């Protein structure tokens, strides 16, 4: 059948096109980013250039990537050198577009629409790649090995294996921070993975069905229909808003008898919800939630979660209250994974809260290991120590800076080389440094940061050979040591969204330019559609939005 052959060929042609040109409008926000100074004195990419030998037929270096989240996936997507045999280890054989997880919990978007098999993403890359669906449980930096465990329970010694590495990229993300609150692990829902979202969705429908049974008392019905969100950050706020929309737009007409029992509460330990946003956004969100009858309780610290009650402590009065609930979502921030904590001990980072990496994303105190995303944080401690050290050991530097009113260290360096006569006072320098410091400290654990780091690191790997010969980075501090091979990582903040339900959203751009309302929600749709990793996920998510608009959200208990 000729017609069928054409159909088949067309299908194959479409599917084999690796990166089709953008189907949707892509908005890019140009924005000011912080530029960091280079401090470390060893060459951070020493190991990379050696790997280039792969190009001329030598044995390729073994690059192991741990994790397929934003950091790991963006790194793999942008890696364009054939110098490595790449091994990817992750408990998920797919990448998840996490900003849409709250949408999955309520069926606005399908789970399968926001994931992409990692094998699909790395198909047709110049490097060899093998994926292993496993969890890394130990990193041995001395013998350069990672120890992994299959997520399937295989037994018979088939479960665990070790991988050697020449270069290691850690992009394992972080775990949920329960602040050791009793009962959270057992009873609360989280929202980090796709299956978290699916479980949460099922639990909500569970509650509706349970409350519809004839055996349930009035009091019990009230408890079951009380949904509590802990944490007033963007995820918690978005989830509360999405849940409200789901309940009022879709479930209310299917479960009319339960309409009056529904209650949504948002608990926040601090004084404001959305603390990282402009006051205008917080105020708007508060107002909208009041109108939507979402109960926002600030200054409310959760001290315990049991199977039916959540106990909160009022930070002002110290009063403890037990609130009956049906479902609780815990969304309060992140903490270091045990495997990373153990690794940090081994490399002399025992006391730290987060694993320290330098400005080139190399793990401090460990060769050939890079880290990015939520599992690591660029450390400026060294920088401050360094400056203090200079002032102590060379008081003349301080005086020199004061006297010459130099603008910054780069100017100082340029000045030392005699190509500038600009001036600065020491207070301005301090201020400049503290700004850098605060910006670095607040580099948020977001998809934006992780994916920019992944892209940056891949670019460094790609140009390692060229940059070794012709370095493009800043000057080293030692005299006549030349330049670093690369520019340090520099984060460009594009702005942040806070969807608030009812087709409204807040967006805050760099420079605190804020926009709130339906137009921002439209922008949200456009940006997220454009940011989706593959053409497939773009089309799927956009058609999910269309489906939701046309038919509402599904309430089947799947």
**Contact set with a second copy (CB under 8 A):** 1, 4, 7-8, 11, 14-15, 92-94, 107, 110-112, 115-117, 119-120, 123, 130-134, 150, 152, 154, 157-161, 163, 194-195, 198, 205-206, 209-210, 212-216, 220, 253-255, 503, 517-519, 535-536, 539-540, 543, 547, 549-552, 554-558
Of 66 and 266, CB closest to a second copy: 66
Alpha-carbon distance of 493 to 354, in angstroms, equals 21
Tokens of 325: 């609930």
Alpha-carbon distance of 37 to 39, in angstroms, equals 6
Of 120 and 494, CB closest to a second copy: 120
Q: Least distance (Å) from a second copy to the CB of residue 198?
A: 8
Q: Least distance (Å) from a second copy to the CB of residue 204?
A: 13
Of 5 and 319, CB closest to a second copy: 5
Place of tokens 């805050």: 508
Tokens of 517: 């309302």
Of 328 and 347, CB closest to a second copy: 328
Are 542 and 533 in contact by the 8 Å Cβ rule? The answer is no
User: 108, exposed or middle or buried, with CB in 10 Å at 0-12, 13-18, 19+?
Assistant: buried
Q: Least distance (Å) from a second copy to the CB of residue 76?
A: 15
- From residue 256, give the alpha-carbon distance in Å to each of 208, 246, 554: 11, 14, 16
Name 190's Cβ contacts closer than 8 Å, sequence gap at least 6: 176, 196, 329, 330, 331
Of 160 and 385, CB closest to a second copy: 160
Of 158 and 435, CB closest to a second copy: 158
Q: Least distance (Å) from a second copy to the CB of residue 152?
A: 6
Of 118 and 230, CB closest to a second copy: 118
Of 28 and 257, CB closest to a second copy: 257
Q: Least distance (Å) from a second copy to the CB of residue 284?
A: 15
Q: Least distance (Å) from a second copy to the CB of residue 83?
A: 22
Alpha-carbon distance of 330 to 304, in angstroms, equals 12
User: 464, exposed or middle or buried, with CB in 10 Å at 0-12, 13-18, 19+?
Assistant: buried
Pairing label, strands 309-314, 320-324:
antiparallel
Tokens of 541: 């998510």
Tokens of 148: 């992994």
Dump strand ranges (E) for 468-529. Answer: 496-501, 504-509, 513-517
Task: State the SS3 of 54-96.
Answer: HHHCCCCEEEEEECCCHHHHHHHHHCCCCCEEEEEEECCCEEE
Q: Least distance (Å) from a second copy to the CB of residue 277?
A: 22
Q: Least distance (Å) from a second copy to the CB of residue 526?
A: 15
């Amino acid at each position: 059948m000729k017609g069928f052959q054409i159909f088949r060929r067309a299908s194959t042609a479409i599917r084999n096109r690796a990166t089709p040109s953008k189907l949707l409008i892509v908005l890019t926000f140009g924005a000011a980013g912080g530029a960091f100074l280079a401090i470390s004195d060893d060459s951070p990419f020493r190991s990379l250039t050696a790997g280039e030998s792969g190009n001329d037929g030598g044995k390729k270096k073994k690059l192991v990537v741990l994790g397929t989240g934003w950091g790991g996936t963006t790194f793999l997507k942008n890696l364009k050198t054939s110098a490595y045999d790449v091994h990817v280890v992750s408990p998920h054989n797919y990448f998840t577009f996490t900003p849409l997880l709250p949408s999955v919990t309520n069926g606005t978007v399908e789970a399968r629409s926001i994931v992409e098999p990692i094998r699909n993403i790395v198909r047709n890359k110049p490097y060899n790649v093998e994926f292993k669906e496993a969890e890394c449980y130990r990193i041995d930096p001395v013998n350069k090995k990672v120890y992994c465990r299959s997520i399937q329970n295989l037994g018979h010694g088939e479960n665990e294996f070790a991988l050697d590495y020449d270069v290691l990229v850690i992009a394992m993300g972080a775990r949920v921070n329960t602040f050791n609150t009793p009962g959270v692990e057992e009873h609360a829902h989280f929202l980090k993975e796709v299956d978290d979202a699916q479980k949460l969705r099922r639990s909500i429908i569970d509650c509706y069905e349970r409350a519809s049974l004839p055996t349930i008392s009035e009091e019990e019905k009230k408890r079951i229909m009380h949904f509590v969100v802990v944490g007033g950050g963007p995820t918690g706020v978005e989830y509360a808003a999405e849940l409200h929309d789901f309940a009022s737009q879709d479930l209310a007409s299917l479960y009319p008898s339960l309409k009056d029992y529904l209650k949504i509460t948002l608990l926040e330990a601090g004084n404001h919800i959305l603390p990282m946003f402009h006051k205008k956004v917080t105020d708007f969100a508060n107002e909208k939630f009041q109108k939507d009858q979402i109960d926002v309780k600030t200054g409310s610290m959760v001290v315990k979660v049991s199977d039916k009650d959540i106990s909160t402590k009022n930070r002002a009065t110290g009063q403890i209250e037990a609130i009956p609930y049906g479902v609780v979502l815990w969304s309060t921030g992140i903490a270091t994974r045990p495997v990373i904590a153990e690794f940090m001990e081994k490399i002399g980072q025992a006391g730290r809260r987060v694993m320290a990496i330098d400005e080139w994303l190399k793990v401090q105190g460990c060769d050939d290991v890079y880290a990015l995303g939520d599992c690591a944080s660029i450390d400026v401690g060294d920088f401050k120590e360094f400056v203090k050290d200079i002032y102590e050991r060379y008081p003349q530097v301080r005086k020199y800076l004061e006297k010459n009113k130099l603008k910054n260290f780069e100017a100082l360096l340029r000045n030392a080389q005699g190509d500038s006569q600009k001036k600065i006072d020491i207070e301005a320098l301090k201020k400049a440094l503290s700004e850098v410091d605060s910006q670095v400290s607040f580099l948020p654990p977001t998809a934006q940061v992780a994916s920019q780091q992944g892209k940056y690191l891949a670019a460094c790997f790609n140009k390692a050979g060229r940059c070794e010969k012709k370095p493009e980075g800043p000057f080293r501090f030692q005299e006549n040591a030349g330049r670093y091979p690369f520019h340090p990582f520099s984060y460009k903040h594009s702005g942040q969204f806070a969807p608030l339900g009812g087709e409204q959203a807040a967006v805050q751009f760099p420079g605190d330019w804020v926009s709130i309302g339906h137009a921002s929600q439209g922008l949200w749709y456009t940006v997220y559609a454009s940011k989706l990793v593959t053409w497939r996920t773009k089309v799927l998510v956009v058609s999910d939005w269309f489906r939701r608009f046309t038919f509402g959200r599904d309430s089947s208990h799947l």
